[in-house]
Amino acid sequence: MNKTIMATFGWTEASVISSILRHGLGNGDKILLVMPERRDERSEAALRDLKAFITTHLKNVEISELRISVDNPATSIYKLKRAIEAERGRRCIINLSGGMRAVVVFTYIAALLAEHPDIIVELETEDRKTVIEVPKVRLADFIEVEKLPQRAKEIMRKLLQGPLDVVTLRKDLNVPASTLHYAQMKLLERNYIMREKKGKTFILKLTPSGELLARLMER
């Protein structure tokens, strides 16, 4: 699947290059930089440096800018939401590590509102040693999680203790394999859990959004 990195962009290109290297962009992938309409000399210099890097190392990756008004939050958030939704069919990686605080906040709100099934929201710490995947929980998720089958909710609560293989999970919940499979499919569809094959079994783990929702169910 092709990828789009949408990155809030400021005085340095470092966080965008880190995201490019982390996600391994290739032919047909895209970079969309979110920047304020008001131009800043340092940001424009960083933009030129980033474009030079892309031209040299990633010739088949498209790079473009989305300029937004920091003085008009509603219009800017709507514009960003539409831009995210235009990337349906691609994995959309939203990197909030650079740029003006207003641009970062507007972009995160747009990510929460956007109808896109495959979004990752990430943030690098200031020392660039840690990348945090930020939960993307929409208002609709609070409604949807209440509609989940009871077994699916039990899986989420169990996974709060940490990743579990499906065999252990089935024994802990004392349910047939078919019931567990149905429940985990519901959770995978909503991106509340991740599944990784290990040997002959699968390991289930909550996504950041799934963990947040599971903890809120515990209230």
Evaluate whether 5 touches 95 at the Cβ level (below 8 Å): yes
- CA distances (Å), 64 to each of 6, 34, 47, 67, 82, in order? 10, 9, 10, 10, 15
Query: Tell me, which fold does domain 3-133 have in CATH?
Result: Rossmann fold (3.40.50)
Give residue 201's pLDDT band: very low, low, confident or very high (50, 70, 90).
confident
145 pLDDT more than 90: no
Query: Tell me, which fold does domain 139-217 have in CATH?
Result: Arc Repressor Mutant, subunit A (1.10.10)
What is the structure's pLDDT at 197? Answer: 87
Strand order of the sheet with strand 30-36?
Answer: 62-68, 30-36, 3-8, 91-95, 119-124, 131-133
What is the structure's pLDDT at 189? Answer: 86
Radius of gyration of the CA atoms of the chain, in A: 20
Q: What is the pLDDT of residues 115-124, one digit of tens each?
A: 888 899 999 9
What is the structure's pLDDT at 130? Answer: 92
Q: What is the mean pLDDT of residues 131-141?
A: 81
Residue among 58, 113, 54 nearest 81 (CA)? 113
Greater pLDDT, 215 or 82: 82
CA atoms within 13 A on the CB side of 123: 15
Evaluate whether 63 touches 50 at the Cβ level (below 8 Å): yes
User: Do the domains 3-133 and 139-217 sit in the same CATH topology, yes or no?
Assistant: no
218 pLDDT more than 80: no
What is the structure's pLDDT at 219? Answer: 61
What is the structure's pLDDT at 190? Answer: 86
Q: What is the mean pLDDT of residues 163-168?
A: 92
Q: What is the pLDDT of residues 8-18, one digit of tens each?
A: 999 999 999 99
112 pLDDT more than 80: yes
Place of tokens 């783990």: 205
Strand order of the sheet with strand 201-206?
Answer: 164-165, 201-206, 193-198
102 pLDDT more than 90: yes
Residue 25 sits at φ, ψ, to 5 deg, of -65, 145
Residue among 69, 56, 68, 1 nearest 30 (CA)? 1
140 pLDDT more than 80: no
Q: What is the pLDDT of residues 44-92, one digit of tens each?
A: 999 999 999 999 998 889 999 999 999 999 999 999 999 999 999 999 9
DSSP 202: E
Domain ranges of the chain: 3-133, 139-217
What is the helix, strand, coil percentage profile of the chain, to 5?
A: 45, 20, 30
What is the structure's pLDDT at 23? Answer: 92
Greater pLDDT, 142 or 125: 125
- C-alpha 104/C-alpha 203 separation (Å) is 34
What is the structure's pLDDT at 12? Answer: 92
pTM of the full structure: 0.77
